[in-house]
Chain A
Amino acid sequence: MSTNVPTSPVERGSLLAGGTRTRLVQAGPVEASEAVVFLHGNPGSSDDWVGLAATAAGAGKRAVAFDLPDFGETVAPDGFQHDVPGYAGFVDAALTQLGIERVHLVLHDFGGPIGLYWAASHPEALASITLIDTGLLPGYKWHSLARIWRTPVLGELFQATATRSAFRFLLNRNEPRGLPRDFVEAMYDHFDRRTRKAVLKLYRATDDPGGMSEALVGLFGDREIPALVVWGEHDAYLPWKYAERQRDAFPAAEVHVLPASGHWPFADAPETVERLFAEFLAS
């Protein structure tokens, strides 16, 4: 199916930031100080964003995505703090290095808390926000997999026994249409020992995933920041009922709940998400 969404070529490279070299996906006018910045979740990498980066560039925007430390193929520097403030600090370093001053944030999964933490520290730099199965999570209690990761010994055991077939099964178990095989295989390829350890640290350092919600409402509620919310109705980790709650902090948000999608709508319904994103950027 053709979506008629204009796209532009995406280039891969690398970036030295925050004491490490990270993989970089970039498209559009590379000198622009205003850019669409994509932050992936767990498990995930800059690879997640190739399609939407092309869409952003097709809309004339500079698009930038990079691996977060210990995800994708990027090694965290010594002493890196695997928590939300630590990752937000890395995002800040990367944006400084890229010369980006004004940001259209696009966040997914754990990229949500990280990106929102960064935005809360730089509210004047936030031009718009796109939340894909993430965002404010007031009152949210961790999903069952996160609870396993957060439990000492059990989390390590779980990670140690996450074979490729088990990973494939777990990921697809709750996805209404199943995820594209290449997408899952690439995700597992990146789910190495470093990433597995980083996941445990990150989840164990995050006791209250909804803890920032109230502060974000106070910070952004009156700013009329353009916002797009896309949520898969079958998301087994972050329930779609949080989609509407994003209007608490972003009252102008367009909210779209995809009735046949799961936690990764950009993977199971790429044409639809690219259309929504292109229309949002155009508006």
Chain B
Amino acid sequence: MPSTDPHSPIFSDGPAYDAVIVGASLAGCATAIGLGRAGLKVALVEKQPDPAAYKRTCSHFIQASGVPAIERLGLLEPIEAAGAARPRVHSWTRWGWITPPPDGGSRGINLRREVLDPLVRTTAAETPGVEMLLGWTAERLLREEGSFAGVAVRNPKGEERELRGRLTIGADGRDSRIAEWAEAPVKTYPNARFAYGGYFEGANPEQAPDAVVWFMDPQWAAAFPTDEGLTFYAAMPTKERLPDFKRDPQGALVDYLSLVPDPPPIRKGRPVGTVFGKIDMTSRLRRPTAPGLALIGDAALAADPLFGVGCGWAFQSAEWLRESVEPALQGSEPLDEGLARYRRRHARELNAHSFFLHDYSTGRRFNPAERLLFSAATRDAKTADVLERFATRQIRPQEMLPRAVPRALAVNARHALAR
């Protein structure tokens, strides 16, 4: 880790940075690594003083869509070396199991955040051009000539500094204060489910290292085998079930997972750490740019955790931002053009996905299209393949639907005639 001495020269007032990033979690660190390697000067501000701090309320699952961005950052190898599982996903539906092909299927990443976050943060801190400021909290945005121009930060001793940069980046999560101060337009989507989860040892599902998801329509559960032989078990029921979980989180989680179809061996396992919950999972979709400012990761789009998209999209949105603004930060075009490019890319890649995620987070049951696709996927490998690439966010809804729907109709018609 670099020096966090507040008196180091980097703390001198003035436009010292090409980019000032607030939030040194996955999205912030990934952006810092990318910009630093492009020869740019980056301040990375993190309110947590501990370099080993990590996000606790997270299923840690990274969809396959996020893996190429991680690989391009050079992080895949160290992540695998740290013991990450590389899962495919087996899904239970009322029509049966949707299983990946024996020798195929897209692989995501499962590595506990307490391992992943310090690994990514260390890489960011060691990247030339990146100055890590741990234990400093953003206090307000700086403005210059109608544009955002950095942040004022404060440490626990009450010392305040102004970090000026050409681009200010909010990577401070779903409750982003940067977004709030920038008055970024936001749409919110209530979530009718809540989440509880915890790690267990000696309780790997038989599909391990693959992950297992139960779509019990509308209830949901999952098992994510991860490093150190642990499995993260998660339940996301609708809120009518909340009293049981509040009364006895661990007991309710174990009971719930032991009542799903083809239950995993959670009752034979030993809990490691506490079972934690998240009750308010309101989704937020924000306009990801403002003059001189960009939002990435959950700060731009905090989606329903049920589909495990947050970690992967953190890395992906970091990459989209770097690719979009790097020419401007290198001085070859106005920054506004780069930010507009990022905004369009973010919308193109994620808006259709987020529409479907928000819609399902109402706690509703499957609609006719979902029933068609899920049922056909249990009966037909090609439909399952298209659906899997959509669910792992490698193709967008507008790419999935024309490929999957006609085939699913034919598959289900054949199935009905054969009965």
Interface residues in chain A, defined as those with a beta carbon under 8 Å from any beta carbon in chain B: 1, 176-178, 233, 241, 256-260, 269, 272
Q: Please indicate the chain B residues that have their CB under 8 angstroms from the CB of A233 in the complex.
A: 216, 219
Bound complex: CA A176 to CA B95 (Å): 9
Contact A260 B219 (CB under 8 A): yes
Q: Please indicate the chain A residues that have their CB under 8 angstroms from the CB of B256 in the complex.
A: 259
Contact with A along B208-224 (1 / 0, CB 8 A): 00000010110101000
Report if A256-B217 is in contact (Cβ < 8 Å); known contacts: A177-B94, A269-B261.
Answer: no
Interface assignment of B262: CB less than 8 Å from any CB of chain A: yes
Contact B262 A259 (CB under 8 A): no
Bound complex: CA A269 to CA B237 (Å): 19
Q: List 18 A-B contacts (CB under 8 A).
A: A1-B262, A176-B217, A177-B94, A233-B216, A233-B219, A241-B240, A256-B255, A256-B259, A259-B216, A259-B260, A260-B92, A260-B94, A260-B219, A260-B261, A269-B259, A269-B261, A272-B258, A272-B259
Contact with A along B253-282 (1 / 0, CB 8 A): 001101111110000000000000000000
Q: Please indicate the chain B residues that have their CB under 8 angstroms from the CB of A178 in the complex.
A: 94
Bound complex: CA A233 to CA B262 (Å): 17
Q: Across chains A and B, which 10 residue pairs bring their CB atoms closest together, nearest first?
A: A259-B219, A260-B216, A259-B216, A176-B94, A177-B94, A258-B259, A260-B261, A272-B259, A256-B259, A1-B262
| Interface of chain B: mostly helix, strand, loop or mixed | mixed
Q: Please indicate the chain B residues that have their CB under 8 angstroms from the CB of A256 in the complex.
A: 255, 259
Interface contacts (Cβ under 8 Å), in number, total 36
Question: In whole Å, how far is B128's beta carbon from the nearest beta carbon of chain A?
Answer: 51
Q: Please indicate the chain A residues that have their CB under 8 angstroms from the CB of B259 in the complex.
A: 256-259, 269, 272
Contact with A along B236-264 (1 / 0, CB 8 A): 01001100000000000001101111110
Contact B263 A259 (CB under 8 A): no
Q: Please indicate the chain A residues that have their CB under 8 angstroms from the CB of B255 in the complex.
A: 256
Question: In whole Å, how far is A84's beta carbon from the nearest beta carbon of chain B?
Answer: 30
Q: Please indicate the chain B residues that have their CB under 8 angstroms from the CB of A241 in the complex.
A: 240
Bound complex: CA A233 to CA B240 (Å): 11
Report if A259-B221 is in contact (Cβ < 8 Å); known contacts: A176-B216, A177-B261, A241-B240.
Answer: yes
A272 closest partner in B (C-beta)? B259
Q: Please indicate the chain B residues that have their CB under 8 angstroms from the CB of A176 in the complex.
A: 94, 216-217
Bound complex: CA A1 to CA B94 (Å): 17
Question: In whole Å, how far is B378's beta carbon from the nearest beta carbon of chain A?
Answer: 12
Q: Please indicate the chain A residues that have their CB under 8 angstroms from the CB of B260 in the complex.
A: 259-260
Bound complex: CA A71 to CA B1 (Å): 76
A255 closest partner in B (C-beta)? B244
Q: Please indicate the chain A residues that have their CB under 8 angstroms from the CB of B262 in the complex.
A: 1
Q: Please indicate the chain A residues that have their CB under 8 angstroms from the CB of B94 in the complex.
A: 176-178, 260
Q: Please indicate the chain A residues that have their CB under 8 angstroms from the CB of B214 in the complex.
A: 259-260
Bound complex: CA A115 to CA B79 (Å): 59
